[in-house]
Amino acid sequence: MNRSRNMNSPSSQFVTSRGMGIYEPIHQIGMWGENFKSNGNPNIPTSMILAADTKLDSQSEDTSQGTLGPPNQYDQEANKPSDRVQRRLAQNREAARKSRLRKKAYVQQLESSRAKLARLEQELERARQQGLYLGSGVDAGPLGNSGTVNAGIATFEMKYGHWLEEQNRQICELRSALSAHISDVEMRFLVDNVMTHYFELFRMKATAAKADVFYVMSGMWTTSAERFFLWIGGFRPSELLKVLAPQLDPLTEQQIMEVCNLRQSCQQAEDALSQGLEKLQQTLAHAVATSPLPEATYMPQMASAVEKLVALVRFVEQADYLRQETLQQMSRILTTRQAARGLLALGEYFKRLRALSSLWATRPHEAAQSFNGN
C-alpha cells in the first residue's frame, strides 16, 4: 500500500506532538488529505456526520472484515481539523523552542563580548597610565604603521584573554585528575593538552612580536608581578626550574641529575641570549646617537636603526624556543604523573603572580591614606 511505502521511506519527515507522544510522517498526512478530498467533501455538515454515526452498528460486520464504508470516511474527515491543529501546535512549539535557544546563545555571546571588552579596556588604561599607550601620537610617526601595529596587538590581547581562560580550565582539570587517580593514558592526554596550550602561546607571541616587539619584550600583556620576573618577553627557564623542583619530589637519583643538567644548559643558553641582546642594545644606541644631525636629516639614521630592530624579534623567538624545549625536556625526564604535578604547579605559580598583582594594585591607595595620616 502507498501508506506503508511512505512510512518506510528514509526521506519521510516526522513531526512530534508533545502532548500525545505521536509521530506522524508529513508526507503520509498529505497523502491522507488527498484521499479525503477525492472521497468526500471536507466541509460536511455536522448533522450529516451524526446521521452517519447512527449507522455504525449496521456497518460493524463490514468494518471487521477490513471494509471502510462512507461512515468511517466521514468520521476520519471530522477528525482531520484536529490532526491539523495538533500538527501546527507541535510546529509552533518547536519554532518557539529554537527561538529561545537562539536568544539564549545571543545573550551569552553578548555577555562574553562585554567581558572581553572590559578586560581589553583595563589593559589599555593600564598602558595609558604607564605612558606606553600604543594608540598615542608618539607612536604614529612617519616611520610607523601604527594602524597595523595596534590591530595586531589588540588581536593578541583578545587571544591571550581566551588563552588565560583555557589555562584556568586546564588547571582545574589537572587538579581533579590527580585527585581522581585516573589511568596513565588519560593523564598523558591531559599533559599533552597543557603542553600544546603553552606552545600555542609562544606562536601567538611570535606573531605579536612582528607587530610590535617592544610591546612583547616589555611584558605589557602580563601583570605587574609577572613583569618583575620577565626575561626577554617571558619567564626565565632556569629560575622556573628552581621554583618547581620542590613540587616534583620524590625524584630518583637519575631524575635529579638530569634536572640539574637541564638547569645548567638553560643557564648557558640564557647567558648567551642576554649577551647578544646587550650587544644589540649597544649597536642601536650607537646608531641613534651617531653624529648630531639636524632634525630634518636624521631620519635615514632612524630608518637604519629600525632595520636593526628586526633582530629583536629573533631574540623573542629564540627565548620562547628555549622555554618550549625546557618544557619538553622536563616532560621527558618526569613520569606522566610527575609531569602533571609540575604543569599544575606552573599554572598555579602564574595564577598566584596575577593574584599578587591584583593585591598590589589596591595597596597604593591604602598606603597613601596611611602616609597622609602620619
pLDDT at site 204: 95
pLDDT at site 99: 80
Task: Give the mean model confidence (pLDDT) for residues 167-171.
Answer: 93
Q: How far apart are alpha carbons 274 and 325 in whole angstroms?
A: 18
Grid cell of 158 as nine digits: 583578545
Distances in Å between the alpha carbon of 307 and those of 130, 257, 338?
Answer: 27, 43, 45
Average pLDDT of the chain to the nearest whole number = 74
Q: Cell 597622609 belongs to which residue?
A: 372
Tell me the torsion sign for CA atoms 259, 262, 264, 267.
negative
CB proximity list for 153: less than 8 A, separation 6 or greater? 134, 208, 211, 212, 215
Q: Which residues pair with 25 in a beta bridge?
A: 14
Cis peptide before 250 (omega within 30 of 0): yes
Weakest-pLDDT range from 107-111, 286-290, 307-311, 364-368: 364-368
pLDDT at site 370: 55
182 vs 26, residue with greater confidence: 182
Q: Which residues pair with 36 in a beta bridge?
A: none
pLDDT at site 82: 75
Q: How far apart are alpha carbons 238 and 265 in whole angstroms?
A: 8
Distances in Å between the alpha carbon of 74 and those of 36, 131, 255, 342?
Answer: 9, 86, 88, 78
pLDDT at site 50: 42
Distances in Å between the alpha carbon of 373 and those of 361, 368, 369?
Answer: 20, 8, 6
What is the Cβ-side half-sphere exposure of residue 351, based on CA atoms within 13 angstroms?
16
Which H or E run includes 363? helix 336-373
pTM value is 0.58
| pLDDT tens for each residue of 63-97 | 444 444 455 555 555 555 577 888 888 888 888 88
Tell me the torsion sign for CA atoms 85, 88, 92, 97.
positive
Weakest-pLDDT range from 262-266, 303-307, 354-358: 303-307
| Helix, strand, coil share (%) of the chain residues, nearest 5 | 80, 0, 20
pLDDT at site 115: 73
Which H or E run includes 25? strand 22-25
Q: How confident is the model at residue 39 (pLDDT cuts 50, 70, 90)?
A: very low
| pLDDT tens for each residue of 317-374 | 999 999 999 999 999 999 999 999 999 999 999 999 999 988 888 876 555 455 455 5
Distances in Å between the alpha carbon of 237 and those of 241, 342, 351?
Answer: 6, 13, 17
pLDDT at site 88: 81
Q: How confident is the model at residue 174 (pLDDT cuts 50, 70, 90)?
A: very high
Which has the closest alpha carbon to 69: 33, 34, 111, 40? 40
Q: How far apart are alpha carbons 176 and 189 in whole angstroms?
A: 14
pLDDT at site 47: 46
Query: Residue 182, class by beta-carbon neighbours within 10 Å (0-12 exposed, 13-18 middle, 19+ buried)?
Result: middle
Q: Which residues of 69-99 are buried (b: 16+ CB within 10 A; e: fewer)?
A: eebebbebbbeeeebeebbeebeeeeeeeee
pLDDT at site 66: 45
